[in-house]
Amino acid sequence: MKSLLLLDDDDVLRESLKNNLIKFFDSIYEAADIQQALEKIKSYTINFYLLDLNLPDGNGLQLIQTILEHNKNSHIIVLTAYSSIATAVEAMKLGATDYLVKPVFQEDILNAFKFIQTKDKDITLKAVSPKRVEWEHIQKVLKENNYNISSTAKALNMHRRTLQRKLQKKPVNS
């Protein structure tokens, strides 16, 4: 039996994902925050998870350990609109199966859960832009400073307001 927990604070996205994935799962549970997700994890046998990274009451990564304690064979995908290498690495270290960046397509999710395999997947390597490297470095230093903006700005030898402006922008794709 395949069951899925969708954890995302965006009601529209959650409903859209549910409608697109319903035919691949026997049951789909929904949660808008960590507290609701914990209730579902403890109440039901779930083996597939789509976890949003940024939630109103915390971080989706907080749930990975709890999920794996209930079922060590769980497949966990972390979704985020603000990706960084640091959070991707952290998610994988904690036990996530995959890390996907929004907007995400049904095929991407199914591929990550190994439901379908794309044939002749064309792999092309692209150079990473300097802006993307800067974004990744800022995220790494921010995490090292426990997400303290002032400490991070000082460590980066950057004005605090400049750092805040950079953080308000969405990350560069390449």
Q: What is the residue-level pLDDT of the chain in tens, covering all 174 positions? A: 889 999 988 888 888 888 888 888 889 999 999 999 999 999 999 999 999 988 888 888 889 998 998 888 889 999 888 778 888 888 899 999 898 888 788 888 888 888 654 444 443 445 567 777 788 788 888 888 998 999 999 999 999 999 888 888 876 665
Residue length of the chain: 174
CATH number of the structural domain spanning residue 138? 1.10.10.60
Query: How far is it, in rounded angstroms, from Cα 88 to Cα 157?
Result: 26
**CA nearest to 170, candidates 144, 134, 129, 135:** 135
Kindly report whether the peptide bond that precedes residue 171 is cis, defined as omega within 30 degrees of 0: no
- pTM of the shown model: 0.67
Domain hosting residue 103, numbered range: 3-112
Query: How far is it, in rounded angstroms, from Cα 100 to Cα 57?
Result: 21
Examine the domain organization and report whether 107 and 74 are in the same domain: yes
CATH number of the structural domain spanning residue 70? 3.40.50.2300
Examine the domain organization and report whether 20 and 88 are in the same domain: yes
